[in-house]
């Protein structure tokens, strides 16, 4: 009986070590570039079909947002342009500064060494940030649901599958 428990404990320990080893292997730049942060199966970038399904979901959500008094896409586009800094009440300190320009481009300063640049678009109450400078941890794009925006305040989701809200001021 003692042997069975020892064998079981060793098996669980070896399995745990292999899972930890596999998790650490995914942290290389090559693997991070292939990891998907939008809730689809990890290991591949979403296909255009998957992105279209997400936008259909976002459009349905936008209808519900309109009923709930949340900003429309046009209101978001009108107010989102500008330089945003995190509010002290934010749930995420991912961005130190985010500049959204009227020409459809953005710059996000993450820290002293990481600056992300790219394009932005709004559809169905969701702002999609697509990087063009190859920042590996962003996987090319991020979706943020916009809860509130005016000329001085922005409240949005951290990412499509992450709880909490980012809060910014101009």
pLDDT at 46 over 80: no
| Mean pLDDT confidence for 49-63 | 76
Q: Output the pLDDT for position 38.
A: 47
Q: pTM of this prediction?
A: 0.60
What tens digit of pLDDT does each residue of 22-35 get? 444 433 333 333 33
What tens digit of pLDDT does each residue of 129-150 get? 888 886 555 456 788 989 899 9
What tens digit of pLDDT does each residue of 89-114 get? 999 888 899 999 999 999 999 887 88
Q: Helix-strand-coil percent breakdown of the chain, rounded to 5?
A: 35, 30, 35
Q: Output the pLDDT for position 169.
A: 95
Q: Are 145 and 159 in contact (CB under 8 A)?
A: no
Q: Considering only 45-54, 81-90, 141-150, which range has the smallest mean pLDDT?
A: 45-54
Round to whole Å and give the CA distance between 37 and 162: 9
Q: Output the pLDDT for position 36.
A: 41
* pLDDT tier at 45, thresholds 50, 70, 90: low
* pLDDT tier at 13, thresholds 50, 70, 90: low
Report the Cα 113 to chain-centroid distance in Å.
Answer: 19
Q: Determine the topology of domain 35-169 in CATH.
A: Lipocalin (2.40.128)
Round to whole Å and give the CA distance between 19 and 12: 11
For residues 97 and 10, the model is more confident at 97
């Amino acid at each position: 009986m003692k042997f069975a428990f020892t064998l079981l404990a060793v098996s669980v320990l070896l399995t745990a070590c292999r899972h930890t080893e596999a998790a650490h292997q995914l942290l290389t730049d090559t693997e991070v570039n292939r990891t998907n942060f939008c809730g689809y199966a990890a290991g591949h970038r979403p296909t255009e079909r998957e992105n279209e399904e997400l936008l259909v979901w976002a459009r349905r959500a936008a209808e519900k947002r309109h009923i709930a008094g949340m900003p429309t896409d046009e209101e978001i586009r009108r107010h989102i342009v500008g330089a945003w800094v995190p509010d002290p009440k934010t749930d995420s300190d991912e961005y130190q500064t985010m500049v959204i320009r009227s020409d459809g481009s953005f710059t996000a300063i993450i820290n002293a060494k990481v600056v992300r640049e790219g394009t932005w678009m709004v559809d169905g109450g969701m702002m999609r940030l697509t990087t063009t400078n190859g920042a590996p941890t962003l996987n090319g794009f991020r979706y943020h649901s916009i809860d509130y925006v005016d000329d001085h305040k922005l409240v949005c989701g951290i990412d499509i599958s992450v709880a909490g809200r980012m809060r910014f001021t101009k």
